[in-house]
Chain A
Amino acid sequence: GENVEQHPSTLSVQEGDSAVIKCTYSDSASNYFPWYKQELGKRPQLIIDIRSNVGEKKDQRIAVTLNKTAKHFSLHITETQPEDSAVYFCAASVGSTLGRLYFGRGTQLTVWP
């Protein structure tokens, strides 16, 4: 099956700085790459996603880039705020059932005021 690796496992930044989280995947047939944010004790929530036919997608302060050749994708958060502190998970899906996801192990992002 698919294998998704995520780095770093922890990331600390100063408020206002940028944060970048990187993921690689193994199955070249993967076609959907979402990112989920999970606050402590809460459920995961989708923050942004990208399809395999798109190289970059932005939504206000967050962006995702995809390099299909290298099989990696990244989450970029600009102008970080303390409320961005959470665990972020990347994921990949193969085939038509988009919710059938393979998740990375997560990145604990801490934004210091």
Chain B
Amino acid sequence: NAGVTQTPKFQVLKTGQSMTLQCAQDMNHNSMYWYRQDPGMGLRLIYYSASEGTTDKGEVPNGYNVSRLNKREFSLRLESAAPSQTSVYFCASSASSGGANGELFFGEGSRLTVL
């Protein structure tokens, strides 16, 4: 039981390049999220998917797109990377969008540097 797995763990891009961060969970969770973490800023929500087939913008969605491929997988795409997108990206999942348990299970993080 791997939990939440995200790839790649490290990536260096040049400004204007594109890339996709992949995330998969094996806990049969309905909801999945992408957060970014910058020094001194806490975590900020980029996009989330409350259930399979739905996606919604979070706090900082500009410059990103997402795809909920199926119940297990939720990818984050940078179409034209900018230095301001240099960050650590965390994928997370939770059992349901509502209900009794709101605990987020995070992946190990992906450190992205845009030059």
Contact = CB atoms under 8 A, between A and B. Distances in A.
A102 B48 CA distance: 13
B114 to A, nearest CB: 21
Interface string B92-109: 111001110111101111
A99 B41 contact: no
A46 B104 CA distance: 7
B48 to A, nearest CB: 6
Given A43-B90, A105-B42, A96 B108 contact: no
B45 to A, nearest CB: 6
In this complex, the interface size class of chain B, counting residues with CB under 8 Å from chain A, is 20 to 34
B97 A97 contact: yes
Contact of A100 (B40, B42, B45): B45
Contacts of A42: 108
Highest count of chain B CB atoms <10 Å: which of A42, A44, A96, A106: A44
B31 A99 contact: yes
Interface of B: 31, 33, 40-45, 48, 50, 58-59, 90, 92-94, 97-99, 101-104, 106-109
7 contacts: A32-B102, A46-B103, A98-B99, A99-B92, A99-B94, A100-B48, A103-B44
Given A97-B48, A100-B45, A102-B45, 10 more contacts: A36-B104, A42-B108, A91-B43, A93-B102, A97-B31, A99-B97, A99-B104, A100-B33, A101-B43, A105-B42
